[in-house]
């Protein structure tokens, strides 16, 4: 038992001792190979043989040099392969899909291991800075949205209300021949007020603040279906976990943007909005529309949606194909 405990305690130190310096390894290997070549060359130089034997010894020397070169390549292949894997990893990194790291445990040399750790640390720092920057930008956007919604509600809506009152007074005092035109003007003013209030609600989701995420999403899907005429359903599964205000807002905004894309581009007849809390929090918006190819994947507001997902340590996945619809999926946790 004591021997096992001692072995466990010594394992980290044994790993440190087993790691070798790449520079010392290359120097030692090449020193050994040079010494071998010098030794063989000295043996050939001391031989005093005939011409045929000389050619044979020359071939032996050439073969020895070839063997040495092959041994050099084989001995250096392993550490250089680790560096090639690290280079391949740097080419595969995409900050839009965080979480990719290099397995530093595979390194057998100090320099390679340090480079891998530094690379992973750099990715950690970049992802953290990108997440903080995205969060700051989104907060600024939401504050601006609230300000614009408040101005629309307080100023523009009051101005339209005053116009309606004046129109109502003008209808009573105007000649009968003008009643139809004034009524039409009043209808247009009422329609403008309704559209204004709808815009203000979209800019500032008061339902999210007043009634919570589930009720806000259900209302959003129902209102969107009524406004666009596209069949839409909201489904949820699992108990609602504890989500931060920013996470709830990102879920709401991504669902809103996805529905807007469906209405404008998809030519869909049915949409399903699913919110699952089983295991991880997953928002999935699925439509049966025309879909799009990979070349269009960067448009449709998807970059902004990805930035929102990054701001709450989430991941946005988009799957689409021509005439097969689109699936927008947000994964949190």
pTM assigned to the model: 0.56
Of 3-7, 40-44, 173-177, 280-284, the range with the lowest mean pLDDT is 3-7
Q: Are 292 and 325 in contact (CB under 8 A)?
A: no
Q: Are 203 and 146 in contact (CB under 8 A)?
A: yes
Closest CA to 112 of 13, 27, 20, 26: 20
Average pLDDT, integer, range 286-315? 76
* 325 CA to centre of own chain: 22
Q: What is the pLDDT of residue 210?
A: 75
Provide the 10 A C-beta neighbour count for residue 45.
9
Has residue 297 got a pLDDT over 80?
no
Q: Is 42 exposed, middle or buried (0-12, 13-18, 19+ CB in 10 A)?
A: exposed
pLDDT tens readout for residues 148-167: 777 776 777 778 888 888 88
CA distance 268 to 289: 4
Write down the number of H helices and E strands in the chain: 10, 5
Q: Are 312 and 242 in contact (CB under 8 A)?
A: no
Look up tokens 């596209």; give the residue: 230
Q: Characterize 167-180 residue by residue with b for buried, 16 or more Cβ atoms within 10 angstroms of its Cβ, and e for exposed.
A: beeeeeeeeeeeee
Average pLDDT, integer, range 92-98? 71
pLDDT tier, 25 (very low <50, low <70, confident <90, very high otherwise): confident
Average pLDDT, integer, range 115-121? 84
Q: What is the pLDDT of residue 314?
A: 87
Sign of dihedral through CA atoms 147, 150, 155, 156?
positive
User: Quick one: tokens of 3?
Assistant: 């021997």
Average pLDDT, integer, range 246-270? 90
* 220 CA to centre of own chain: 26
pLDDT tens readout for residues 221-249: 998 999 899 999 999 998 988 898 888 88
């Amino acid at each position: 038992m004591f021997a096992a405990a001692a072995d466990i305690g010594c394992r980290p130190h044994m790993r440190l001792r087993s790691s070798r310096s790449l520079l010392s390894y290359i120097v030692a290997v090449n020193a050994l190979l040079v010494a071998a070549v010098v030794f063989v060359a000295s043996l050939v130089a001391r031989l005093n043989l005939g011409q045929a034997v000389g050619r044979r010894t020359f071939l032996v020397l050439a073969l020895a040099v070839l063997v040495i070169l092959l041994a050099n390549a084989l001995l250096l292949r392993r550490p250089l392969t680790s560096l090639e894997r690290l280079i391949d990893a740097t080419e595969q990194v995409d900050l839009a899909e965080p979480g990719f790291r290099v397995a530093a445990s595979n390194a057998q040399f100090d320099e390679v291991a340090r480079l891998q750790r530094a690379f992973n640390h750099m990715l950690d720092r970049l992802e953290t800075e990108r997440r903080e920057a995205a969060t700051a930008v989104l907060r600024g956007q939401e504050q601006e949205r609230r300000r614009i919604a408040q101005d629309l509600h307080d100023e523009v809506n009051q101005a339209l209300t005053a116009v309606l009152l004046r129109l109502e007074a003008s209808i009573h005092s105007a000649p009968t021949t003008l009643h139809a035109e004034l009524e039409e003007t009043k209808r247009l003013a009422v329609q403008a007020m309704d559209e204004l209030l709808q815009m203000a609600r979209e800019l500032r989701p008061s339902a999210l603040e007043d009634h919570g995420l589930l009720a806000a999403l259900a209302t959003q899907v129902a209102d969107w279906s009524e406004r666009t005429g596209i069949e839409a359903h909201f489904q949820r599964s699992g108990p609602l976990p504890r989500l931060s205000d920013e996470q709830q807002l990102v879920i709401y905004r991504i669902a809103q943007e996805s529905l807007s894309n469906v209405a404008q581009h998809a030519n869909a007849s049915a949409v399903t909005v699913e919110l699952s809390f089983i295991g991880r929090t997953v928002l999935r918006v699925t439509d049966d529309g025309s879909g799009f190819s990979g070349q269009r994947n960067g448009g449709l507001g998807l970059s902004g949606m990805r930035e929102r997902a990054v701001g709450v340590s989430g991941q946005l996945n988009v799957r689409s194909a021509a005439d097969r619809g689109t699936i927008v999926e947000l994964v949190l946790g």
